[in-house]
Structure 1
């Protein structure tokens, strides 16, 4: 069976140029079929028709805005948007990427998840990306052997690949169920034919 690839949507209040590095990085991965940048306007409900076009979503935020106000805090930017992504794509298909971090450690990640619990409720993970790590991200074609990027950035494509595998297993299970159903129908038809022939022979 052919490999399943993801259509990744990047949802943000930021201009596409802010996360162009992320688009190029994702497109260099064999796990990604396409990347759809989606600008979130003031009326976030306008993105509802964009979300189903994706199989995996990244909510992108940059600390260059000055604050880590994603959810659950004063003037938070993405409460409704993150919940909407969760409602349509489900938690395993949604992650949050916070860019331009001075501190991208696990300690900082834990602090963010504790102070903004909706992130952990609506998304499967939050990835913190430092400026230096972003600048060192290798960009290469799918056909090339690409050197590993920083651990946090690499985690983004690892999560996409993991979800692709889950989708493939689900597709295989569905196909197997269809095959089993067809076989049961064939067996039933054969049994009915045998019974009908047996009746004809007796008469």
Structure 2
């Protein structure tokens, strides 16, 4: 379960006071977005939230972090309401975001081009620090891989730090999983992008030609995201 901490310093309301429930809904949506971005059981702490809503905005149902957002500091989210209403975009949330999640750290300095051995790595569950909003690899996923750049002792090992093999390749047929509650529906699609474990890729339904966003969960297996 995500741990959400609210330390409300200000609630921006240039267009009129907003109900406290709107702030709670915005923080909940932002928390969910961060947890989905890390693709695991991340504990998300959000503090100093500042909410701005459009006049007459409906219920907040989704938050999307701005590109290049990182944990361990301020993050801005675009808020969306009912996507069948006009406008779907209803406001913004600014907040400080911290994440505690399982990740891998280097025990010692590792030069670029070296193999990541078991002795050089340790798996921890701790604050991930200043990291992009994307999944962090597991110890099993990076052990034996080659470093793309030098690592310092204590540095978090990200997907950009090691040469990670793609589990989905552009042009390949993949199995798709769509989950609605307890129901799981499987289908097939063609990958329009390559991706490693946890990355988001575009796949195309060969019959309808509809493009869908999905997360790579295994070799040739993509979980369709509901916001597709």
Q: TM-score range by the shorter chain?
A: under 0.3
Higher RCO, 1 vs 2 (CA within 8 Å, ≥6 residues apart): 1
Which has the larger share of helix?
1
Which has the larger share of strand?
2
Task: Please identify the structure whose Cα radius of gyration is greater.
Answer: 1
